[in-house]
Structure 1
């Protein structure tokens, strides 16, 4: 007898990294399907090899040739060789970080080329200052060449390589079928024909899956086409982990990496020590503006729920009238309690600057779920399932929910906010932190995206 649940377990192992595959007995698989962009020349042209084989030599050769001509290779000074090594290293670091960042929802690498390349080359320039024979012209020429290469390369690839998934229209997966141009299309029968796709989306736990559909999914897996459970695609498209899906996942499997947690604390400490003296003039000017705009102290101190449920006192610049009364949360950007200066410092996130002191003390990190007040935390713990689990990592000055959701009404938006927090915990990594940092810097420098 056909045991669907047994096949499902074996299909999961064969699809997501296990060593076992299953071929249900009764039919031979004589038709091969092919995944999109799986041919060797497609993988070379649209993947990392192309950047290594073509992009790296172009970026290294262009600046010296333009500035010094062909004789540069015959009379290469030691300082020039060092500069070229630095340009190559900066190019590879940028390539690696962009490659890792593009895994996250809503990330268009071309949008982050300018800030990321600028930060990497600025750090390279700072490291090379004072080096014997260091050629700044070649370094900044490499910077310009890298900007052009990454922008054209990633913009072109993203335009051409938009993911295309086939959806098995059974169970919850039927809700993912969208209009033409969405990257999803509905399968009417368990066959692909000549279609080349990036993967199959299915509700593998649905009782509606027949033997024929299960054989089809197994055949796709055997031919290198991944089969994704609906929740995986849902998370990759929304950047959220739905609370009802936590019932399918053991919480212990979502524990953040202890190694990265330790490294992150070191990065937080170094960053806070570096930024405090640099931002001190801005903080003093902000405090002066607050005191002259409305009566009351410049700082707002409040108890918040911290790491592992331990309360701590958070420091912020006051953005509301001291005598104002109301709810224990911000009801929106038009809250009448917000002062004139408060609206400005909220827009550019300047009200968060005193939290550098919390980072130094170890209460907070630069990146993590935003800490809630004690009253709200106790309220949410009663009404929102798994709310306390967000405290498994340190709270942050900025977080995934903030860059995705912004300033939402905290009670009405808490369920969605919590889904973003769980996504951050599940994908807790340096690369997600870098992405959040870049999006936060965009808000700080432009005010765009702050709500």
Structure 2
């Protein structure tokens, strides 16, 4: 028994140490210290072991400065992307640092600056390995702790994974754990003046205080559909300096993609033609930006249906194991290759790379009848992929559509370049795993 007790105590102490270490590694300064040591200092030391100091000291200086800039830029992108709800640090690390190192190398190439490719490669590998190991350790041993002012939603909030809730029945109880951020329903009529005075004082003192609705929205990545109001969405139009820039980025990248992917398009088109009778391109009227209809193009993945095949709304909604999907169609739908022709829709401004998926006219009319404020999702351009696609996948019922709409509203509310970067990273994962494909 004594041996077992000692083992239990030792395990508990190790767990406590692991949690404290995970909390420390979650802090920005320790993450940056490790990144600079592994990504900047270590490559210089390793280079010095295998290479004598050259006559051109500028190569050392440029490589040292370049790797430092790449580490800092990559870390900024990594922090911005992984702060989003549902973000997976492991799928965000490599793309974040690939982009930052690529930017620095491109600048060096344009300016014709000397640098060591080996030093950059070692820096990239060590930096990504550091953040992958760090993210794994933090995810394993660290859990977000939040203080809940009211217990009314404790059962609902307890179902959210990755969060530990501490319920405070009084301001005195909350004062004993001032390190915890507070979550409170600021519109709760039962809150009382005592709590209101305490929350005001804590906010002045610098304590982080969240509204229950906003924190749930952040953790779930959805905006609950209750009623449309400026209080829920802020300004009803997502006026961002990113919005006009995104249109030009879409047009340029779509043009480049059309040229580069044309050989793949021709190969898949031949496969579709040989696999089943009918046209290669599927055309369909969809509801688009600002409620205007447009013709969306896809590679055909289903058999051609007769004009009087049945209820148009049901036919527009693809079911699990839909018998209309062809052999080639299953592959191109799973990998999202069927969306390739929509590059033309992006180029001419009818769509974007990222945004709410455009629905058919029959389904759009049906959803508008069933769900209030459905048309609000048309305030941004529809996309090939979107927040709802990477969070939820395919939908087959009105209840699924309501949840999908909540994801779409979240995207509109948090419309930014960082949201698009995260969705793009997640879309690559979906393409390889086939998640949500039907």
TM-score range, shorter chain: 0.7 to 0.9
SS in 1 for 2:219: helix
Give deviations 1:373-400, integer Å, cap 9, x for gaps: 1122222222211111111111111000
Give matches, 1:20-419, under 5 Å. Answer: 46-69=26-49, 77-125=57-105, 128-129=108-109, 131=112, 133-172=114-153, 175-177=156-158, 182-190=163-171, 191-192=173-174, 194-244=176-226, 246-247=228-229, 249=231, 253-323=235-305, 325=309, 327-409=314-396, 411-419=398-406
Q: Separation in 1 of the partners of 2:168 and 2:60?
A: 58
**Contact 2:389/2:436 (8 A) holds in 1:** no
Q: Separation in 2 of the partners of 1:306 and 1:198?
A: 44
For structure 2, the residue ranges without an aligned partner over 5 or more in a row are: 1-20
Aligned residues: 411
Q: Separation in 2 of the partners of 1:181 and 1:424?
A: 22
For structure 1, the residue ranges without an aligned partner over 5 or more in a row are: 1-40
Greater alpha carbon shift after TM alignment, 268-277 vs 192-201: 192-201
**Contact 2:144/2:162 (8 A) holds in 1:** no
The answer as to 2:420 corresponding to 1:433 is: yes
Give deviations 1:149-172, integer Å, cap 9, x for gaps: 222333334445532111123555
Deviation at 1:434, TM superposition (A): 0.1
Shift in CA distance, 251/192, structure 1 to aligned 2, threshold 3 Å: closer
SS in 2 for 1:164: strand
Q: Separation in 1 of the partners of 2:77 and 2:182?
A: 28
SS in 1 for 2:297: strand
Shift in CA distance, 113/450, structure 1 to aligned 2, threshold 3 Å: farther
Structure 2-normalised TM-score? 0.85
Deviation at 1:54, TM superposition (A): 4.8
**Contact 1:166/1:200 (8 A) holds in 2:** yes
Partner residue of 1:27? Answer: none
**Contact 1:165/1:197 (8 A) holds in 2:** no
Structure 1-normalised TM-score? 0.82
**Contact 1:170/1:202 (8 A) holds in 2:** no
Q: Separation in 2 of the partners of 1:250 and 1:132?
A: 50
Shift in CA distance, 410/272, structure 1 to aligned 2, threshold 3 Å: farther
**Contact 2:67/2:120 (8 A) holds in 1:** yes
Q: Separation in 2 of the partners of 1:353 and 1:198?
A: 48
Q: Separation in 1 of the partners of 2:151 and 2:337?
A: 49
SS in 1 for 2:207: coil
SS in 2 for 1:249: helix
Shift in CA distance, 179/132, structure 1 to aligned 2, threshold 3 Å: closer
Deviation at 1:348, TM superposition (A): 0.8
Shift in CA distance, 242/110, structure 1 to aligned 2, threshold 3 Å: same
**Contact 2:394/2:436 (8 A) holds in 1:** no
Q: Separation in 2 of the partners of 1:392 and 1:136?
A: 46
SS in 1 for 2:46: helix
Greater alpha carbon shift after TM alignment, 377-386 vs 361-370: 377-386
**Contact 1:177/1:185 (8 A) holds in 2:** no
- Could you say what the CA RMSD is over the residues aligned between the two structures, in angstroms? 2.9
Deviation at 1:43, TM superposition (A): 10
